[in-house]
Structure 1
Amino acid sequence: MASLSIPRSAARSLSRAAPAFRSKAPRVATRWLHQRSSPITPSPAQHRPSPQQWRQKVSLPAAAVGRRTMFIQTESTPNPDALKFNPNQRVLPESIPSSFLEYLSPRSTLAPPHPSPLAAELFNVDGVTSIFFGADYITVTKDSATPWAHVKPEVFALINQFMTSGQTIVNTVEDKAGESGQGGTEVDSLAYDENDDEVVGMIKELLETRVRPAIQEDGGDIEFRGFHDGQVLLKLRGACRTCDSSTVTLKNGIESMLMHYIEEVKGVHQVLDQEEEIALTEFAKFEEKLRQQKGSAPPSTVGKGSLDTVE
């Protein structure tokens, strides 16, 4: 039988048109002619890189590695002009017998017995009027004309700087002249005293266990100033000192509770310092002057009987 010869171009076209005729056996590429036959394998450079080969090492500067940061939480108080800062660490040294220190002027931050570099820096912030240090919190009070948006960032930065750098918050110096520049430098007024009678001891216990935790939660504290003729003399500190609801707190809260448990208590009276009494007196005079000026003020230019009225 004669052999059938198919041109090479026709055979190539036939193989493309009919892929089903291709061999199903695995194909191994080999080298021809004078080279030794060996399968073609991928080169090492074509392997998929592992993540470890491309891991980037970032070197931080020494200053960034040694830097410390902390979380300071802020809490609002019933007083809109007072804000409580919680640095989550102790603020007052344990050597101070009182549970708080209050600075009411820049001069008090430098006076003995407990000057405070932090309080002095905080008073440099525009609008700040008083600084209150609790055992583990700081209450900052501002004037009503300055918004918190201007005060809060600077106060936050100063507290964070002192806490993270380990700077001294409160110092203790000898008070040779008997000058007390801060409020609360004496022994805790609610501490137990063996010389107290039964009624005073019960009053202190109720104030310590029932009243003080709530007032400290609001960024303030309370002082016991005495018990005379059925009247309990108290002094509010911190955010509660200038709060509009302080009278409500004393009368509806503290007074009602003490009168309920102790029949000898007839009322609660708030004690004011000399500076506060002077300020209240001057404010009352100012209000009276405004009231008199308003009563004798000329009629407005708008209205009946004025030049702007056409009849």
Structure 2
Amino acid sequence: MASSTRSVAASFLRSQISRTASAAIVRHTPKRTFSSIIAPSRPTLLPKPNSLRPIIPFPTILSQRRSLFIQTEPTPNPDALKFIPGLPVLPPKSASIEYTDGRQTNNSPLARSLFQLDGVQSVLYGPDFITVTKTPDSHWQWLKPEVFALVTEYLNNGSPVVTGDVAESEDTAPKEGDSEVVSMIKELLDTRIRPAIQEDGGDIEYRGFTPEGQVLLKLRGACRTCDSSTVTLKNGIESMLMHYIEEVKGVTQVLDQEEEVAQREFEKFEANLAKLKGGDAVPKSSGPHGIDAAP
């Protein structure tokens, strides 16, 4: 009797233990299941702390890079081409910057890269354009894609075209001691003449006004080496200044010392070339109307 009682008690105790364990498993199973679902998903939803990859979708990056659209425009100078990126190239009120030698490009990585291309003669930075002038013996067919690729790649990076401080345009700024005539000349150059010259991929720099009535100007960019630079000075700038200001008697182009030496050497070269080709050849600057175009 006692043994049967103990058997019944042991059976009852085993059933209670089994029921309690089952309840514990049921109570804790949801927690284990919940944590097992959350844990694996964390690495896919959150970036790694030391990851260098941007959290920007690829289509967004692609659209930002394609937002820069550079246009090219011809200039009156067949050896100069104007590149318009659609954004400011220099800070507001800055003077245009011209590089005529690769050794002058210490403050412009872009200009230094452009001069490394075979055929680039000069680079001009305007307010919202870049003018590249090539040598007469090179061809835009091969040079233009290389210049376009360099300008596009550099401006896409968002880096400034010129490093360091950029000088403001002061040649036509009003100064103490300016006479009424000089003030009128500067105003015409700044408001009427300079914008027209920049449309052709060039620029001008006011150098002074002589007692004889001559306005001293320096041409830059596409206008500096253009065959029609004399026509630009006489028929364009000179005519407008003489029309509005009676004290102006003419316009004279000013060259730097290095440019004067280079021009004299080039004139000697053309004169010697004209002698070799015959007495009928007339020395002129290179271009479509130069000696090379003569029969």
TM-score normalised by length of structure 1: 0.66
Match of 1:146 in 2: 138
Structure 1 gaps, min length 5 = 1-60, 174-183, 297-311
Structure 2 gaps, min length 5 = 1-55, 280-295
User: How far is 1:98 from its partner?
Assistant: 3.3
Q: CA RMSD in A?
A: 2.0
Q: Is the 8 A contact 2:74 2:82 kept in 1?
A: yes
User: How far is 1:263 from its partner?
Assistant: 1.3
One-letter identity of the residue aligned with 2:145 = P
Match of 1:222 in 2: 204
Match of 1:77 in 2: 75
1:202 aligns with 2:202: no
User: How far is 1:293 from its partner?
Assistant: 4.3
* Within-5 A mapping of 1:183-262: 185=167, 187-228=169-210, 229-262=212-245
Q: In terms of Rg, which structure is larger?
A: 1
Q: Is the 8 A contact 1:139 1:220 kept in 2?
A: yes
Match of 2:150 in 1: 158
Identity %: 62
Task: Please give the alpha-carbon distance, in whole angstroms, between the structure 1 residues aligned to 2:234 and 2:158.
Answer: 42
C-alpha change, 1:101 and 1:268, in structure 2 (3 Å) is same
C-alpha change, 1:262 and 1:295, in structure 2 (3 Å) is same
One-letter identity of the residue aligned with 2:95 = S
Q: Is the 8 A contact 1:101 1:185 kept in 2?
A: no
One-letter identity of the residue aligned with 1:104 = T
* Within-5 A mapping of 1:243-282: 243-282=226-265
Cα distance per residue 1:237-269 (max 9 Å; x no partner): 111111111100101111111112111111110
Cα distance per residue 1:174-216 (max 9 Å; x no partner): xxxxxxxxxx956431122233110000111111122111101
1:66 aligns with 2:67: no
1:98 aligns with 2:94: yes
TM-score normalised by length of structure 2: 0.70
Secondary structure of 2:124's aligned partner: strand
1:107 pairs, out of 97, 103, 107, with 103
1:117 pairs, out of 105, 109, 116, with 109
Secondary structure of 1:284's aligned partner: helix
Q: Is the 8 A contact 2:95 2:168 kept in 1?
A: no
C-alpha change, 1:135 and 1:294, in structure 2 (3 Å) is closer
Q: Is the 8 A contact 1:85 1:137 kept in 2?
A: yes
C-alpha change, 1:65 and 1:257, in structure 2 (3 Å) is closer
Larger proportion of helix: 2
User: How far is 1:290 from its partner?
Assistant: 3.1
Task: Please give the alpha-carbon distance, in whole angstroms, between the structure 2 residues aligned to 1:63 and 1:122.
Answer: 30
User: How many pairs are equivalent?
Assistant: 220
